[in-house]
Amino acid sequence: MTELAPWQVRRAKELIERDLSVNVPITTLADACGVSESHFRNAFKAAVGEPVHQWIITCRIEAAKAMMLDPTRSLRDIAFACGFAEQSHFGVMFKKREGMSPDAWRRKKRQEAALARIIAMDAGWARS
């Protein structure tokens, strides 16, 4: 089996990442790469290391993590913006990938940021 050419991988990823809230059909991705749907599925997995659907979930989780750093954004809005049909589905997928709920992850990141600020302040005082 052959992998997709670098331009084909790049094109597929661009189409997917353009708007993660939209489910881009496999046929659209395959057509954009000039291959059949079955060839695309197999070649994408060979090139990227995971099936298309799993790669999309990974992208959605990474985008959600970036959005979750903004404390004013609700988890519900983030879930929809990243293409999850429901907040509960987002929570299940997030926990499966990250080992904790989105809310727990968000709290952990806030605590880490607060600790980093304290350490930076201590370092500044030590130099004074």
On the question of pLDDT at 16 being above 80, the answer is yes
For the chain, the domains span: 6-127
User: For 110, how many CA atoms within 13 A lie in the half-sphere containing its CB?
Assistant: 10
In angstroms, the CA 27 to CA 108 distance is: 40
Instruction: Please report which confidence band the pLDDT of residue 118 belongs to, taking 50, 70 and 90 as the band edges.
Output: confident
Our measurement of the distance from residue 32's CA atom to the centroid of its chain's CA atoms, rounded to an integer in Å, reads 22
- Rg over CA atoms, the chain: 19
The pLDDT assigned to 3 comes to: 83
Instruction: Please report which confidence band the pLDDT of residue 128 belongs to, taking 50, 70 and 90 as the band edges.
Output: low
Per DSSP, helices labelled H in 18-86 are: 26-33, 37-48, 52-68, 75-81
Nearest to 56 by CA among 92, 98, 12: 12
Q: Which CATH class is domain 6-127?
A: mainly alpha
